[in-house]
């Protein structure tokens, strides 16, 4: 680690950071140097630490947050798949939100230096799958937060998931494979996270509910700004939709149709009174007498 630290300006790299990057490259000094150099470049270009105001829309969805610790003392990052919506999210903002929570977990990992991820699948559908975000964020986390992940608790997992995992796991390297732990039910989840730390939603005793107050670095005036921007965005969207409908009506006008004429019920002969309607008054015809002029 000392050899790696000497390759950078004094104060740039501390010993703990150097050890993590050396371990990530199996203590190969040259490979660790390149990885650490790329990390420092990325950190400047990405804008770390991430300002929460640059990704507030994603943060306020509550699909990811840090709360509590597991039984080993690792801070827990909860990620709810059911709150993902790739059709409405901005990819760059979603990436920044994930990096923001990764940074917050790093700050909390003072005891162990590791973090645990609870990947919540409950209530998710195929519409919540966001492969675009996964492809964008996985290289960032792997290259810039090495040796931080202790394990991923995938909850819940049924027979179908476990059957797929039994085959898919062999495509991963042994180190990554050991970190992914399928969890079938709440009783198994409590083996990893103590009841007083586990959220009540998963059978624990912790009554924490996500809100804007759980996002570090946000102020009430920041929230007011976001709400104003969201209202203006919705107003613009409504105006665009109204304009689109007007254009469609102009391109396809309805000609020659009288909307005031009631339509004849199907199956009703023309001129016949409807069932239950009062009989029409027919003009009485004078009976002609035989031989009358």
Residues with Cβ within 8 Å of 98's Cβ and at least 6 positions away in sequence, in order, are 64, 133, 137, 140, 141
Work out the number of other CB atoms within 10 angstroms of the CB of residue 192.
20
What the block records as the tokens of 96 is: 């920044």
152 contacts 158 by C-beta, under 8 angstroms: no
**What's the rounded Cα separation, in Å, for the pair 117 and 108?**
13
Is residue 227 within a helix (H) or strand (E), and if so which, with residue range? helix 220-251
The whole-number pLDDT of residue 272 equals: 53
Of 50, 49, 81, the C-alpha closest to 63 is: 81
Per-residue pLDDT of the chain (293 residues; tens, 9 = 90+): 899 999 999 999 999 999 999 999 999 999 999 999 999 999 999 999 999 999 999 999 999 999 999 999 999 999 999 999 999 999 999 999 999 999 999 999 999 999 999 999 999 999 999 999 999 999 999 999 999 999 999 999 988 888 888 887 887 778 888 999 999 999 999 999 999 999 999 999 999 999 988 999 888 677 777 767 767 877 888 888 888 888 888 887 655 455 455 555 555 555 555 555 555 554 454 444 444 44
* Res 293: pLDDT: 46
The radius of gyration of the chain from alpha carbons, rounded to an integer in Å, stands at: 33
Task: Kindly give the residue spans of alpha helices, DSSP state H, lying in 76-219.
Answer: 91-108, 131-144, 159-168, 174-179, 186-189
Using the 8-state DSSP alphabet, how is residue 238 labeled?
Answer: H
Could you tell me if 78 and 64 are in contact, meaning their C-beta atoms sit under 8 angstroms apart? yes
Read off the pTM.
0.75
Which of 6, 1, 61 has its CA nearest to residue 27? 1
* Spatial contact of 51 and 35, defined as CB atoms under 8 Å apart: no
Say if strands 115-120 and 75-80 run parallel, antiparallel, or are unpaired.
parallel
């Amino acid at each position: 680690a000392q050899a790696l630290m000497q390759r950078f300006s004094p104060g740039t790299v501390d010993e703990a950071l150097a050890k993590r990057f050396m371990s990530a490259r199996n203590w190969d000094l040259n490979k660790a140097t390149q990885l650490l150099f790329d990390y420092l470049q990325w950190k400047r270009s990405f804008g770390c630490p991430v300002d929460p105001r640059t990704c507030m829309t994603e943060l306020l969805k509550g699909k990811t947050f840090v709360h509590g610790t597991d039984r080993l003392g690792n801070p827990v990052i909860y990620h709810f798949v059911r709150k993902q919506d790739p059709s409405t999210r901005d990819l760059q903002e979603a990436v920044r939100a994930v990096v923001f929570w990764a940074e917050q977990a790093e700050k909390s990992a003072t005891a162990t230096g590791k973090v645990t991820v609870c990947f919540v699948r409950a209530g998710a559908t195929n519409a919540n799958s966001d492969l675009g975000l996964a492809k964008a964020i996985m290289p960032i986390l792997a290259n810039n937060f090495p040796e931080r992940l202790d394990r991923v608790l995938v909850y819940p997992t049924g027979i179908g998931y476990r059957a797929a995992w039994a085959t898919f796991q062999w495509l991963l390297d042994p180190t990554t494979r050991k970190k992914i732990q399928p969890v079938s039910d709440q009783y198994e989840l409590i083996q990893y996270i103590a009841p007083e730390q586990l959220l009540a939603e998963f059978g624990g005793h912790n009554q924490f509910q996500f809100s804007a107050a759980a996002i570090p670095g946000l102020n009430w005036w920041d929230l007011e700004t976001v709400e104003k921007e969201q209202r203006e965005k919705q107003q613009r969207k409504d105006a665009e939709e109204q304009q689109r409908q007007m254009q469609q009506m102009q391109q396809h006008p309805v000609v020659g149709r009288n909307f005031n004429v009631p339509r004849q019920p199907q199956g009703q002969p023309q001129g016949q009174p409807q069932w239950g309607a009062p009989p029409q008054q027919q003009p009485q015809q004078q009976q002609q007498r035989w031989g009358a002029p």
